[in-house]
Amino acid sequence: MNHCKNLLQFHIIWCPKFRFNVLNGRIELELKEILRNIGENYGYEIKEMEIMSDHIHLFISTKPTVAPTDVVRSLKSISARELFEKFPKLKAFYHRSGSLWSKGYFVSLVGNVSEETVRKYIQEQKLKD
């Protein structure tokens, strides 16, 4: 990876199971901290984050060796476990369903340059030698 340059950015959205309004108050604040820590530990750059009471928006940049599905899996699984540990009432609330997060999520690649810019960059590479 020493000779590679990349910019992989994702917009990720996911919801609590049944889209209940549970991500507020202390839970929201703790969740932000948990997600920041996961990002630091796994090498995800969280560029922007917003937690609504019933869903989460993240703008993340990662290495090209990390699949978006792996990013989502780590964020959802670790955050659910840590929130359940810190908020026993939340765990009790979701006891019957067995999980905090819904199974699905939305992920979209976020581009930073146009096709024309990429084409021009490639075409100019030979001129630099």
Q: Where in the sequence numbering do the catalytic residues fall?
A: 121
Three-class SS string for the chain?
A: CCCCCCCEEEEEEECEHHHCCCCCCHHHHHHHHHHHHHHHHHCCEEEEEEECCCCEEEEEEECCCCCHHHHHHHHHHHHHHHHHHHCHHHHHHCCCCCCCECCCCEEEECCCCCHHHHHHHHHHCHHHC
